[in-house]
Amino acid sequence: MYQPPTILLFLGRLHPLLVHLPIGMLAALAALEIAASRPRFKNAGASAGYILVLAAPLAVVTAACGWLLSLAGGYDETLLAWHKWLGTATAAASLVTAVFFQCGKTRAYRASLFVTVSLLLVAGHLGGSLTHGSDYLTRYAPESVKKLLGLTAADKTSEPVSSAELLTRPVFAGIIEPIFLSKCVICHGPAKSKGGLRLDSFAAAQRGGKNGEVFRPGDAAQSPLVQRALLSAGDDDHMPPAGKPQLSRAELARLQWWINAGAPVTNRLGELRPPPEVLAVPSAR
């Protein structure tokens, strides 16, 4: 895989830091201009020129850092392409807005600002989906809100209620998928597939990553998935990476047991006679 020079990646990683500055400034500018349309607040836009002189160049620099960040790869291609081009369009539109303002073309300036902020909203949302997964915003929304948005309520990461109920579940969906979904899929899923690996389905996990298989049915000790989890927390290859929610002891035990049991998928857990520690239901969070 192509590895860009580290200095470019370093600059690229400034993107998530910088991005909030032009966003805040453009949002504030739009709010001031809306207020200025009321006679009572007609001077609200008095600082527009100063804000634009900061916001437009910052938007351009932020977009440039974003392009560098995208070189690192591991993102969903389609989502990334949309985010990249809409982000670039936002930066361009903010420059155009600044030019209209400078030329004293008030109506064109206001229209251009409106376009800029609209682009910004969409680009920003896609950016959030890229980093946090597309359900980031709605994952913990109340059921009523989810229904309103037409989202299915199936939240696979929620722990089942009892060990007895677990025994009736298919093993992968019952105890393994919830671990992947809660601890791994944010980096190994549809939005990002770091190391070329996706863990959002059994088939994807079986395909493995850029270095091949990540688990060897029957041999947890020789399975990179477990080996990486067992590395010391300071090791660069440790999974999940330092600073991210780690596997609990019980989760690690489940993964090891599952691989050693031959990585079954649809068998009911009960048929496989798992040891008690695999069935232990973590106390409520």
List contacts with ligand HEC (CB under 6 A).
183-184, 186-188, 194-197, 208-211, 214, 224-225, 228, 239-241, 244, 247
The single-letter code of the amino acid at 215 is F
Closest distance between ligand HEC and the C-beta of residue 240, in Å? 4
Nearer to ligand HEC, 66 or 224 (CB): 224
Query: Which residue's CB is nearer to ligand HEC, number 93 or number 259?
Result: 259
Tokens matching residue 92: 């361009």
Nearer to ligand HEC, 115 or 261 (CB): 261
CB of 223 to ligand HEC, least distance (A): 8
Are the C-beta atoms of residues 120 and 127 closer than 8 Å to each other?
no
Q: Could you give the 3-state DSSP secondary structure of residue 212?
A: strand
For ligand HEC, the closer CB: 153 or 233: 233
Find the shortest distance in angstroms from Cβ 246 to ligand HEC: 8
Residue number of the CB closest to ligand HEC reads 209
Residue 199: CB minimum distance to ligand HEC, A: 6
Rounded to whole angstroms, the Cα distance separating 116 from 97 reads 8
* Range 140-147, long-range pairs (CB < 8 A, 24+ positions): none
Nearest residue (CB) to ligand HEC, 220 versus 247: 247
User: 59 exposed, middle or buried (CB, 10 Å; 0-12, 13-18, 19+)?
Assistant: buried
Q: Which is nearer to ligand HEC, 68 or 239 (CB)?
A: 239
Which are the contacts of 179, defined by CB distance < 8 A and separation ≥ 6? Answer: 247, 251, 254, 255
Cis peptide before 240 (omega within 30 of 0): yes
The sign of the dihedral angle between the CA atoms of 72, 62, 11, 5 is positive
Residue 130 CB, shortest distance to ligand HEC, in Å, is 13
Given the complex with ligand HEC, which of 95 and 175 has the nearer CB atom?
Answer: 175
- Which helix (H) or strand (E) is 85 found in, with range? helix 77-102
In whole angstroms, the minimum distance from the beta carbon of 245 to ligand HEC comes to 8
Please count the other Cβ atoms lying within 10 Å of the Cβ belonging to residue 116: 27
| Angstrom distance (rounded) from CA 144 to CA 165 | 26
The CB-of-215 to ligand HEC minimum distance in angstroms stands at 8
